Structure 1
Amino acid sequence: MIAAVLVRFTYLAVSHAFAALWLLRMSDREKDVEILALRHQLEVLRRQLGDQRPRLRSDDRALLAAFLEPLTRAALRRFRLLVSPDTVLRWHRDLTKGRHARANVNRAPGRPRTGASIRLLVLRLAAENPSWGYRRIHGELALLGVAVAASTVWEILKTAGVVPAPRRTTVTWVDFLRSQAEAILAMDFIETVTLTGQRQYILAVIHHASRRVWIVGTTAHPTHAWVTQAIRNLLMDLEDSGYVAQIRFLIRDRDGKYSALIDEILGGAGIATILTGVRVPRMNAIMERWVKTLRGELLDRTLIWNEAHLRRALREYERHYNEHRTHRSLAAAAPLRARHLPLGPGRIERLAVLRRDRLGGVLHEYRHTA
């Protein structure tokens, strides 16, 4: 639209420039006669139009405003124009505004918009520090050399729906688990049935931070004595692997298989027992998710003959889970194996991978050839 108006305006300006050159060759008498003839034509047009206003295009208005701008209002009134002098002056004002508007076409109204990186940083600081208000966040930004007003920080938080600091300081169960992951174990019983129809109970423990799993034992009769001995064995495994010094909490449900004695044994090692709510499995969500993984990758895909077969399968799966299986929470590493470095272009072109089967092909592991 604007480009078309500019093209038409340029055409009219050039054509009138050539007309002006032609006027230089005319005498004053010839110019006077032409002016009188043009005025008479305007009178004829006025009689034909009556009260109707002439339809002028944008380029016509711009050209008339440019030609008549040097004249005063009194001089314009002496002219027999199709429009009033005030209209011509308004056209000139609009033309001037348009020129300034085109000069600032890339400038948005109001204050410049805050950069996306600064907005993301403000929201990150608010999420990672629930007790910080907008002024505390503003001060941290100043330490980082980010020049932004405190009111801008407040506006960013308000727009994103971040509640004020006093209401963000409440510690949720999820926040507690994340902050204490290094010090938390989770425990649960898993039930399965062998081909002989015998019900087996598997006692397993998982470390929240590393996702390492200990399958403490299996039995058809989980008595209090058996569970107590299993907890003692677990503490010895934790001490041998160096975990016992950092563990401070153990989450479990209220199953009657656990005796009161195991809480005393754990308390002697500095580990407090945290009981989940009644029918609230999400309070032990990480353990429940591992149980689902165990069933989907082993128990639901394997025919378990008896208790001895179950123990061998569980030992094999425990090694696979801790030493090979990747985890999203560990950035594709395994609990006891760090993530491999990316291969270079040369090695990718010569990529050769071998497969290792566990449990008769139920589990597959892959590694590079030597």
Structure 2
Amino acid sequence: MSLENPLWGAPRLHGELLKLGFRLSQSTVSKYMIPRKGRPAQSWITFLRNHASAIAAIDMLTVRTFAFECLYAFVVLSHDRRRILRIEVTTHPTALWLASQVAQVLGAGSGVRVLVRDNDGAYGAAFRDQVRALGLDDRPTRPGSPWQNGHVERLIGSIRRECLDHQIIFNAAHLRRVLGAYAAYYNDDRTHLALAKDAPETRAVEAHGRIVSRRVLGGLHRRYFRIRSK
């Protein structure tokens, strides 16, 4: 019990033991509990779950065009409802450009307090200064630990598998349109296991009417809904 609950002191442990029918003194619990310095700290996963409503994560993915030009897509994801807050495209992701993107989406009123990111060299001094100016708690992941930014890493995998692997991108404007359409589908239509099979922007249950569908990304995906018969 002491190992599993590193934040609990002797009174809390003693109370739990009393509820389990053990009759012993609190001083005995204090004597045998593992010292705080020997107990594991809160895990990274626990931290993310406890602060989901105030966490945003960012990352970048590279995309090759038809002419082999390298483009960069910058993604901002809310942990709370897995909503894509922003996708923007550039050919040169400088620290100033990244700082501008963060300021536009995570400024005052966003509700975000913690920013999770990797250690990409593009997040330079100008970017870090902007994050501090916004009052965000900057949380870079440990080197070689992509799982610490798992939500956005999974999103990038979905973008590739469900969109970009089936598209030929011609230029930055084309990529921006494609990713914009995918983001709208992802937020409004696509159901997520982590959200009890709801969409980030909650979808109402439609029980009556004729079922029809709307094509998304040229028919790569579809949104199904009901319409009232006349």
Q: CA deviation at 1:255?
A: 1.0
Q: 1:128 to 1:192 in 2, by over 3 A?
A: same
Q: Please give the TM-score of this superposition, normalised by the length of structure 1.
A: 0.52
* Separation (CA, whole Å) in 2 of partners of 1:177 and 1:165: 25
CA deviations on 1:158-209 (whole Å, 9 max, x unpaired) are xxxxx98967763111111111111111110111111121111000011111
Query: Which of 210, 215, 222 matches 2:86?
Result: 215
Whether 1:228 aligns to 2:93 is: no
What do the CA deviations read for 1:63-111 (whole angstroms, capped 9, x no partner)? xxxxxxxxxxxxxxxxxxxxxxxxxxxxxxxxxxxxxxxxxxxxxxxxx
Give CA deviations for 1:189-247 in whole Å, capped at 9, x if unaligned.
Answer: 111111121111000011111111123410112223322322222235xx5xx4x2x31
Kindly state the Cα deviation for residue 136 of structure 1 after the two structures are TM-superposed: 2.1
Superposed displacement of residue 130, structure 1? 6.4
Q: What code does the residue aligned with 2:22 have?
A: A
1:353 is aligned to 2:230? no
Query: How many residues align structurally?
Result: 215
Query: Aligned partners of 1:299, 1:283: CA distance in 2, in Å?
Result: 24
Partner of residue 276 from structure 1, selected from 129, 132, 141 = 141
Match of 1:199 in 2: 70
SS at match of 2:200: coil
For 1:228 and 1:175, locate their aligned partners in 2 and report how far apart those are by CA, in whole Å.
28
**Deviating 4+ runs (over 3 angstroms):** 126-130, 132-135, 163-169
Contact 2:70 2:91 in 1 (8 A): yes
> Given the superposition, is the C-alpha separation of residues 299 and 291 from structure 1 closer, same or farther in structure 2, using an over 3 Å criterion?
same
Q: Which residue of 2 aligns with 1:247?
A: 112
Deviation sequence 1:3-59 (CA, Å, 0-9, x none):
xxxxxxxxxxxxxxxxxxxxxxxxxxxxxxxxxxxxxxxxxxxxxxxxxxxxxxxxx
Are 2:7 and 1:149 equivalent residues in the alignment?
no
- Tell which has more relative contact order, 1 or 2 (C-alpha 8 A, sep 6+): 2
The residue aligned with 1:104 is none
- In the alignment, which residue of structure 1 is the partner of 2:223? 365
Q: SS of 2:135's equivalent? A: coil
On the 8 A contact 2:116/2:138 being kept in 1, the answer is yes
Structure 2 counterpart of 1:184, from 38, 51, 55: 55
Alpha-carbon distance in 1 for matches of 2:70, 2:59: 16
Give 1:131 shift. 2.6
CA contact (8 A) 2:84 2:183 kept: yes
One-letter amino acid of the counterpart of residue 198, structure 1:
E
Q: Unmatched 5+ residue regions in structure 2?
A: 24-32
Q: Which has the larger radius of gyration?
A: 1
Task: Quote the residue 2:8 is aligned against.
Answer: 131
* Cα drift, residue 313 of structure 1: 0.7
Q: Give the gaps of 5 or more residues in structure 1.
A: 1-122, 142-147, 152-162
Distance 1:364 1:199 in 2: 29
8 Å contact 2:76–2:86 — kept in the other structure? yes
Q: Is the 8 A contact 1:202 1:219 kept in 2?
A: yes
Whether contact under 8 Å (2:216, 2:222) holds in the other structure is yes
Whether the aligned pair in 2 keeps the contact of 1:131 and 1:168 (CA below 8 Å) is: no
Cα deviation for residue 129 of structure 1 reads 9.4
Give 2:27's aligned residue. none
More helix by share: 1
* In structure 2, C-alpha distance between the alignment counterparts of 1:134 and 1:270, rounded to whole Å: 36
What letter corresponds to residue 270 of structure 1 in structure 2?
Answer: G
Q: Is the 2:115–2:139 contact (alpha carbons within 8 Å) kept by the matching residues of 1? A: yes
User: Is this contact kept in 1: 2:87–2:180, CA < 8 A?
Assistant: no
SS of the residue corresponding to residue 198 of structure 2 reads coil
